[in-house]
Amino acid sequence: MSRLEGVFARCREESRAALIGYLPAGFPTVEGSKDVLRTMVEAGCDVVEVGLPFSDPVMDGPTIQRAAERALRGGFRVRDLFGVVESVAEAGGKAVVMTYWNPVLRYGVDAFARDLAAAGGLGLITPDLVPDEALEWISASEAHDLDRIFLVAPSSTEERIDLTARSSRGFLYATSVMGVTGARDVVSTAAPALVRRVREHTDMPVGVGLGVRNGAQAAELAAFADGVIVGSAFVSAVDTDSVAALTEELAQGVRAVPTPA
Amino acid sequence: MSRGQLAPTPHDPDDRGHFGPWGGRFMPEALIAAVDELAAFYEKARVDPDFLDEFSRLLRDYAGRPSLLTEAKKFAEHAGGARVFLKREDLNHTGSHKINNVLGQALLTKRMGKKRVIAETGAGQHGVATATACALMGLDCVIYMGEVDTQRQALNVARMRLLGAEVIPVTTGARTLKDAINEALRDWVANVEDTHYLLGTAAGPHPFPVLVRDFHRVIGVEARQQLLEQAGRLPDVVVACVGGGSNAIGIFHGFIDDPSVRLVGIEPGGDGLDSGRHGATLTAGTPGSLHGAMSYLLQDEDGQVTEAHSISAGLDYPGVGPEHSHLKDTGRAEYWPATDAEAMEAFALLSRTEGIIPAIESSHALAGALKIGRELGPEGLIVVNLSGRGDKDMDTAINWFGLGVREDRA
């Protein structure tokens, strides 16, 4: 059973999508990221994605790249991640970690899963690990009862959507556009079609991300997705000290229209 | 070129690109469809007589193949008296082995119906070769180059622009080759429908390590045949420099089934392994995933990728092609470092003794040959892959040797 099932079930009862907010651990500092994540939880994020800063973030646009660079320059270490996850759990939040694969490999896949679970983390989003290469992670995540969130993209074939859905646990992450992270003016025309395709293969919740920055866009996605994922906009909000306001706006957005039954 | 040059070999990876535990695809799902498409087109092309004919014709009539095999007798006096033969990839059009791969991939790009090509470059050799192939074949071309490298290699930036390419300086990270690859991957994921990423080395996700290797196998095929004609026997050792490893894997494959031939890759030792300032990935790295494949990697204990250091911008890369990791593990090839100082000494020596100014990349292989020759003695026979010419390296040489130019300017 998925660790995130309860969250999505509750949102469904409330006829809304879940709000999933991202922040890199260690940004702006390790303690600072704990504070920001706590604010995100208290102001209405149903799930938070705690990012693991990495030297070569090929799926990220400039905003998250700069945040990761700042965290690493500030001396962020992988072991700091678990303290950040723990603080989310203590604040009553639901935390998953989003990470490029190499730091997990280096830490040891099973050891990483063990320490993440011990810190109260519920799963892992892996933007550069596809199920084809994930045997070790699949067995470690089963052993430590963690969710596995793989990504699907508008370019994914039916066969790959099927493979990815069968390999995932918790929810599926649908990237709404072909591109890297970063706030956009127009969210996507590809997203509804992708979510429709995914639903032909699975009943698992589908979260949609890439490009969302305001309540109106969140409402637009909430009309057809089970989760609305926001990243770069939160990173930018840290610098303008408007994290609580952004969270509240997005939380209203995901409640603005009923999700399809 | 022999017809079988691109044909499947017993050394090919499994169908998902694994050489033993190395290689594979550690990359975003959004790009999987593109590499699947590339793999499917390549599997057809590598056995298609029309494709092979067109590739052969371009290598002969445009790149100038076969490249010569030149015996370096005076240089060899410094290498323990062993016989030393140079495979002259420096004489190819654009001045290095890189043209082989770009012509092959540009042909594939046209077959896939894509109109736009992106590529990364460090020193500018691959960028210039890519811009050249795109000019020839009428493809739009965008080259990503670290901002630091655009300043170090201003002449190559000008060459690429003259050839019609757009050069985009990359200002993230350390602003060098690794960051240029990151930025090219970001472009690719956003534009994959009409864009081919023309990767410049035998690394990256499957099928790049196989197809880049295959487009360079011509180096080894020619060298083996030329050496048999000129020396009447196989070499004892084949030596090549290894950054990402494309020229090395190309020449190694000509001899990989000859068990008596030792295959030696020379890595950039920078200021020396103890200094921590080097790019000797296979000698001093640990397993990891970067830019789409599992391979040896220079990284810290947290798995953050560290910067490579080398006097040669073309070897300045913290990763390496996965097949080299496999050849290291199986023992079929061996990998040693040569320091900046050793490479520059070999650079000067070849220039003075043979009248050939080598690329600093290739000078690492020459430094290796000097050591190997002294081991082997006068009975020894060595082939060195002279992967490129050194014109591009004159600024570095001026600074290193103080060639009197500064005094002249003053």
pLDDT (tens digit per residue) in B291-327:
999 999 999 999 999 999 999 988 989 999 999 999 9
What domain count does chain A have? 1
The whole-number pLDDT of residue B237 equals 98
* A to B CB pairs, distance under 8 Å: 115
pLDDT at B67 over 80: yes
Residue B19 near residue B322, CB atoms below 8 Å: yes
Which of A58, A129, A157 lies closest to B33 in CB terms? Answer: A157
Answer yes or no: do A156 and B25 touch at CB < 8 A: no
Answer yes or no: do B182 and A179 touch at CB < 8 A: no
The closest alpha carbon to A84, from A116, A131, A42, A44, belongs to A116
**CA distances (Å), origin B70, targets A153, B2, B136:** 52, 21, 29
A251 within some domain: yes
Residue with tokens 């909000």: A237
A213 within some domain: yes
A101 within some domain: yes
Answer yes or no: do B28 and A103 touch at CB < 8 A: no
Residues A196-200 have a mean pLDDT of 97
- Residue ranges of the domains in chain B? 18-62+98-208, 64-95+216-406
Answer yes or no: do B29 and A106 touch at CB < 8 A: no
Judged by DSSP in three states, B337 sits in strand
Using 50, 70 and 90 to split pLDDT, how confident is the model at B148? confident
Fold (CATH) for B64-95+216-406: Rossmann fold (3.40.50)
CATH of B18-62+98-208, one of 3.40.50.300, 3.60.9.10, 3.40.50.1100, 3.20.190.10: 3.40.50.1100
Residue B224 near residue B254, CB atoms below 8 Å: yes
Its pTM stands at 0.96
Strands A123-125 and A47-51: unpaired
Residues B46-58 have a mean pLDDT of 97
Query: Residue A218: which domain range?
Result: 5-255
The whole-number pLDDT of residue B152 equals 79
pLDDT at A183 over 80: no
Contacts of B192 in chain A (CB under 8 A): 155, 178
Q: Which of residues 285-304 of B touch A (CB under 8 A)?
A: 286-291, 297, 299, 301-304
Judged by DSSP in three states, A222 sits in helix
The whole-number pLDDT of residue B407 equals 53
Using 50, 70 and 90 to split pLDDT, how confident is the model at A142? very high
pLDDT (tens digit per residue) in B201-221:
999 999 999 999 999 999 999
**Annotated active-site positions of B, please?**
98, 120, 387
A247 within some domain: yes
Strands B195-197 and B166-170: unpaired
Residue B268 near residue B122, CB atoms below 8 Å: no
Q: Does B203 touch chain A (CB under 8 A)?
A: no
Q: Is residue A145 annotated as a catalytic residue, yes or no?
A: no
Q: Is residue A60 annotated as a catalytic residue, yes or no?
A: yes
Q: Does A151 touch chain B (CB under 8 A)?
A: yes
A260 within some domain: no
Which of B27, B288, B302 lies closest to A77 in CB terms? Answer: B302
Q: Does A14 touch chain B (CB under 8 A)?
A: no
A261 within some domain: no
Domains B18-62+98-208 and B64-95+216-406 share a fold: yes
Q: How far apart are CA B399 and CA B410, in angstroms?
A: 15
Q: How far apart are CA B105 and CA B208, in angstroms?
A: 10
List the CATH number of the domain containing A149: 3.20.20.70
